[in-house]
Amino acid sequence: MKKVKTACIIDDDPISVMIAKKLMELSNFCSNILVFKDGQEAVTNLKENHASGGAMPEIILLDLNMPVMNGWEFLNSMSPILEQQKCSIFIVTSSIDRSDLERARNHKDVVDCVVKPLTHQSLPGILNKCYEQKQSIRRG
C-alpha cells in the first residue's frame, strides 16, 4: 500500500480516533498523524501551520457532527487553503442521513464519504482515491 506523509483526523469521538490511529499505524498508512477534537481547533492549528510555511496534511478525515465547529463549518472556513494545498478530504461519519451523505459527496472539497468506523479494508480505498485525485489535478 502507498503511504502519505501526513494524515489528519478531525473528530470529537475518542474511540473513533483511537480506532483510526491504530488502523493507520498497523497498515503503515502515513508517517505522521495530526488529531484535532473539533473543527475550530483544526482551523486554528492548520491556518497557523500554513501561515508559517508548513505543509498541509495530504489527507484529512473529517467528522461532520462535532461541538464548537462542525465539519461543514470547518470546510467553509478552510476552503481557500484546502483548494490551494490540494488536500484530499474524506468525510468519516456515523450519520446515515442521506442528505448529509449526498451533500458531502457533492461538496467541491470532499473526495468521498466513509461510514464509521474505519476498517482495515477502507484505508486502501482512501489512499487510492487520494492518489487518483492528485493525478487528475496534475493532468487538468
Query: What is the predicted pLDDT for the residue at 1?
Result: 59
Q: Residues 113-130: what's their mean pLDDT?
A: 88
Higher pLDDT among residues 22 and 85, named by residue = 22
CATH number for the domain harbouring residue 105: 3.40.50.2300
What mean pLDDT, rounded, does the chain reach?
88
Name which residue leads in pLDDT, 140 or 46: 46
Reported confidence tier of residue 16, pLDDT bands at 50, 70, 90: very high
Number of domains in the chain: 1
Task: Please report where in the chains the cell 468521498 appears, as a residue.
Answer: 112
pTM, 2 dp: 0.91
* Beta-sheet pairing, 88-93 with 4-10: unpaired
Q: Is 23 exposed, middle or buried (0-12, 13-18, 19+ CB in 10 A)?
A: middle
**pLDDT per position as a tens digit, 34-89:** 999 999 999 999 999 999 988 889 999 999 999 999 999 999 999 888 878 778 99
Which domain, by its residues, includes 15? 4-139
Can you tell me the distance from the alpha carbon of 34 to that of 41, in angstroms, rounded to the nearest whole number? 11
